[in-house]
Structure 1
């Protein structure tokens, strides 16, 4: 959607916003790779709670991606929130032992039926790194426009 220059709710065009767009692109790739791993493993390998939380995260991630690439004024705030909350969530769900019951899809000693392999580890760690990058880029962009 094209906005008149005076009405455009954007973040600007400086280096901080360029970093946010770059981090968001990487975040989108990580989201797709992580999703592909879940499809490869089969959706029956995770609890309905993890599936519901993952669906909410995916929707919020897509909204964040759209906000960033349309230059919306809420883009930095969304990147901060979605990035850091997602990083914490994926770390707890995948990289901790199965301490959280239905909130866990632990890669620490998973059963064979979970179909966790090296690609699963790569996808989860890549997602967490991308989450931290978009959150950090969101902080920088927010500071730059404040």
Structure 2
């Protein structure tokens, strides 16, 4: 049985883990950028369901960032999970038409009260790209220690 510290050192020492750190740093910037857009738009512009899901995603994102930068053995798996699930969620919530009712904050023909502008589009697309990069970097880091 491998000691948890040894697993941490093996994972944190590889070049793919360095890529994971870079992807995680970009993810952190994207997470803050998207959050800033929601603050700019006003928290009253989304349903309580979207607010709860966004808060959970933010907390899991912060936990993933902490796992990666501490070199925890679950870091790569967390990156895969939060990266791909977040990307799918943001695509469904922001880039699809308003098909999902309270699960939607669609940027396609939004009402004026939603305060969606170019920065909103940038923040959402930036977050999706960063999420995907995080997920793929997590996969590479997992494969390098397998």
Common topology (TM > 0.5): yes
Q: TM-score, structure 2 length as denominator? A: 0.95
* CA–CA separation in structure 1 for the residues paired with 2:14 and 2:58: 28
TM-superposed deviation, 1:7: 4.9
| Aligned-partner SS, 1:71 | coil
What's the TM-score once normalised by structure 1's chain length?
A: 0.95
What is the number of equivalent residue pairs in this alignment? 141
- Structure 1 gaps of 5+ residues are 1-5
Q: CA deviation at 1:13?
A: 1.2
The answer (yes or no) to whether the contact 1:12–1:145 under 8 Å persists in 2 is no
The structural deviation recorded for 1:12 is 2.8
- Give ranges in structure 2 of 5+ residues lacking alignment: none
Equivalences for residues 4-43 of structure 1 within 5 A = 7-8=4-5, 9-10=7-8, 11-43=11-43
Residue in 2 that maps onto 1:68: 68
CA distance in 2, matches of 1:103, 1:12: 37
Q: RMSD of the TM alignment (CA)?
A: 0.8
Check whether the contact 2:30–2:126 (CA below 8 A) recurs between aligned residues. yes
